A = this chain, B = another copy of it.
Amino acid sequence: MAALKLSLLVLLLLSVVVLSSSVVWGKQDPELKQCQHQCRHQKGFDEEQKSQCERRCEDYIREKKERERRERERERGGGGGEEESYYGTREREEGERVTERGPYVFEEEHFETRVRTEEGRVHILRKFTEKSKLLKGIENFRVGFLEANPNAFVAPVHFDADTVFFVASGKPTVTLLREDKKDTFNLEFGDILNIPAGTPVYMVNRDEREKLFIIKLINPVSLPGHFEPFYGPGGENPETFYKAFSWEVLSAAFKRDRDEIERLFRQQKRGSIVKASRQQVQELSRHAEGGRGGGGTIWPFGGDTGGPFNLFRNRRPTHSNRFGSLFEADPSEYKQLEHLNLMISFANITKGAMTAPAYNSRATKISFVVDGEGFFEMACPHVSSEQGGGGRSRHSFERVTGRLRRGVVFVVPAGHPLTAITSGNTNLQILCFEVNAKGNVKYPLAGRKNIVNDMENVAKELSFSVPAREVDRIFRSQNEEFFFPGPTQQEQGGHRAYI
């Protein structure tokens, strides 16, 4: 009974999530809107020219933003050279060392457009190490997302990279062509699917109203930090790799005339994301297996078969209270993650709440804001250079902070204490890829359990230079775990001044 009630609760929760995430991503900039409006009403442009014009608007705006950001940073003395001064900009208020965003936060302008058609787009975050050498440890990971209209079809492609999908909205029917069989899965919100490098994959958004939004973690297998799409079935756009072979060779390989082959590979010009008819969508999704996996009733959980795993369905959150809940897919449940040394979690922080300050012992967390607004604060070790003293320097910490909103990516390196705080009127939802997950432990720094409470009184006194009871007064007041009520609105107001 208890399990049933919980499931209902979770389903209720999810439906809220699903509805809210059906809103369109990005494209909120007024300047962009106006530019694109002009494109659409430009006389003499055909559909393709209009579409191309619109895309250029977006590129233009993104570049402009990036340029402005760099200028802002230069003026603040941080220097565009993020490589040189480890943390971009620096502001000091009341003697605090506060860094806005630093090398750990990525917004719209840090993504590059890999695909854009009438029906959808693929954006990939630039290499982490392009931003800062502090991210060298995750150099071989890339993050990106795919957005596609209702009923859009995404053409078959393989990558020289392992890719993990997380379905954030829409209902994709995904087909993987394996060595010896074809696997088709009807996925939905919360499904995680691992697509091994080289596997041809295609999909259709079988949802008729909701946009498809898939967040991807990409792990190149061939060239560290770089990957490419390889389109086989296709034509001129997406350009098929078959056309790279000479006609003589293709003719021999297919045992057909050159003309006939040429004709086949000349037709597709609509790009790699195209519109499918309702009937075509039904055809593609009809024989699919339902999304399997998710702890609880179904066995096996799908992990070993190469199928999907649902982060929410029939599963309990690892942590949950009035202020938020955390769902985790760990390698022991979903075997494919073990191979990738990866853990995936989803935090839903209630409006007005915050996460306990905490750190991961060895995993580095690559976080993607799925919905809501807020900000984070992270403690970053910073060797201040103004202490002089010939080579030795005093060790201190800097606050790195950043505003969170849909589409923002932020990285939390191992050992770095972090807290995320909601603002605005909705829950803050964050998807986390935790790489180097094996043996990782989350250490909470406040709340019912924390790293100080377990210490002997003598150790507390020696560490803080105050009587143990004064330490306890601070560390034993908060009785919640993992999710806490957030700072009051007024206090947040003070915060907003600099975030």
Contacts and interface: CB of A to CB of B under 8 A. Distances in A.
A449 to B, nearest CB: 9
A230 B463 contact: no
A378 B264 CA distance: 20
Contacts of A415: 158-160, 197-198, 222, 228, 230
A296 interface: no
A14 interface: no
B113 A391 contact: yes
Contacts of A432: none
A234 B463 contact: yes
A2 interface: no
A415 B160 CA distance: 5
Interface string A458-499: 111111111000110111011000001111100110110000
A300 interface: no
A317 interface: no
A486 B199 CA distance: 27
A144 interface: no
A256 to B, nearest CB: 5
Contacts of A238: 395
Contact of A267 (B237, B283, B464, B494): B464
A237 B394 contact: yes
Contacts of A486: 252
Contact of A233 (B55, B251, B265, B464): B464
Interface in A319-361: 354, 356-357, 359-361
A298 interface: no
A462 B413 contact: no
Nearest to A245: B377
A85 interface: no
A249 B478 contact: no
Interface in A121-173: 134, 136-137, 153, 155-156, 158-160
A40 interface: no
Interface stretch (A174-182, A208-216, A308-316): A174-182
A373 B178 CA distance: 33
Interface stretch (A26-34, A75-83, A436-444): A436-444
A355 to B, nearest CB: 9
Size bin of chain A's contact surface: 35 or more
Given A156-B463, A415-B228, A494 B248 contact: yes
A52 B451 CA distance: 31
A266 B283 CA distance: 68
A254 interface: yes
A35 interface: no
A18 interface: no
Count of this chain's copies in the oligomeric assembly: 3
B276 A487 contact: no
A458 B280 contact: yes
A364 B413 CA distance: 29
Given A252-B487, A495-B248, A458 B389 contact: no
B379 A245 contact: yes
Nearest to A490: B248
Contact of A379 (B221, B241, B471): B241
A249 B274 CA distance: 47
Contacts of A379: 230, 241-242, 244-245
Given A158-B415, A160-B413, A414-B160, A464 B235 contact: yes
Nearest to A247: B491
A52 B229 CA distance: 51
A399 interface: yes
A453 to B, nearest CB: 10
26 contacts: A137-B224, A153-B462, A196-B439, A197-B361, A198-B415, A221-B362, A222-B414, A228-B381, A230-B359, A232-B417, A234-B463, A235-B465, A245-B377, A245-B419, A248-B491, A248-B492, A252-B486, A252-B487, A252-B488, A253-B357, A253-B484, A261-B474, A264-B474, A269-B465, A280-B461, A283-B456
